A and B are shown apart, each in its own frame.
Chain A
Amino acid sequence: MKEKIEVNIQVPNQTRYLGLIGKIGEDMARALKRYQGDREELAYHINLVLTEAMANAIRHANEGDPEKEVHITIAIRDNSLSIRVFDQGQGFDICELPSPDFKGLNEHGRGVYIIRALMDHVSYRRMKGGHVLEMIKNLH
């Protein structure tokens, strides 16, 4: 039987929920039926990309406005795990940012690099009322 799981989460635009969302993603990765790779590593990476993507949505796209919301979906279908993070803001296209300068000691700019390094496909597009960042991990 094919595996199909989808969760929908809506939280206020506040960083206090980062840990909760990261944990949900981590637990979903651990529960995968047929994953041949290192499950603990995958779980950590899912927690990490969720945290990075949400933090970007909260601070940049939604400009820290506590009245806004972040909507997240995590879906497992057959051989892929996809995460969508919906913001209600002006947009923050991570696909257009340059790679970080590893020689420099910038405090910022590593989050997007981490997402790109750990996920197989990343896209950011406009939709009604905001934008959606989609990140896909192939599971085979």
Chain B
Amino acid sequence: MIVRIEEKGSSVLIEVKEERLDAHNSGEFKAQMLNLFEEGKNNLVVDLQEVRFVDSSGLGALVSGFKNASARNGNLKLCGLQPQVKSMFELTRLHRVFEIFPDAQEALSSF
């Protein structure tokens, strides 16, 4: 699973460089986020700009990250959702859970 992780002040930007976030790679993605939490980095922005497809496991990994961040008084925000990916959040009502921004800059400056 390819992700680009970059510290931006007190937040961390995670760019997912995969076309799919699914049952095949979502476990690894969860582990990458857990590493960040263990380093005390609790404010995350996940940029899904390059992700064309997300399944329930991919959504589950993001929910896991959101719960971990919240439990540590941080937050996990999303940006760059493609229309079909956004429709998955709407179908499962998760668009009411996550703060979703058009791009990384807006998401980062919201912290």
Q: Which residues of A approach B to under 8 Å, CB–CB?
A: 15-16, 18-19, 22, 40-41, 44, 47-48, 51-52, 55, 58-59, 100, 102, 105-111, 113-114, 117
Considering only CB atoms and an 8 Å cut-off, how many residues of chain B contact the other chain? 22
Q: Which residues of A contact B93 (CB under 8 A)?
A: 102
A105-B97, A106-B63 given as contacts; is B22 within 8 A of A114 (CB)? no
B63-111 contacts to A, CB under 8 A, are 63-64, 66-67, 84, 88, 91-93, 97
Smallest CB–CB gap between B93 and chain A, Å?
Answer: 5
B16-32 contacts to A, CB under 8 A, are 19-20, 22-24
Smallest CB–CB gap between B58 and chain A, Å?
Answer: 10
A-B contact pairs, 27 of them (CB 8 A): A15-B22, A15-B23, A18-B20, A18-B22, A18-B23, A18-B55, A19-B22, A19-B24, A40-B84, A41-B84, A44-B53, A48-B55, A48-B88, A51-B55, A52-B55, A52-B56, A55-B23, A55-B57, A105-B66, A107-B61, A107-B67, A109-B56, A110-B60, A111-B57, A113-B56, A114-B88, A114-B91
B33 within 8 A of A: no
Q: Which residues of B contact A108 (CB under 8 A)?
A: 56, 60
Smallest CB–CB gap between B10 and chain A, Å?
Answer: 24
Q: Which residues of B contact A41 (CB under 8 A)?
A: 84
**Which listed residue (A40, A51, A105, A107) contacts B23, Cβ 8 A?**
A51
B32-68 contacts to A, CB under 8 A, are 53, 55-57, 59-61, 63-64, 66-67
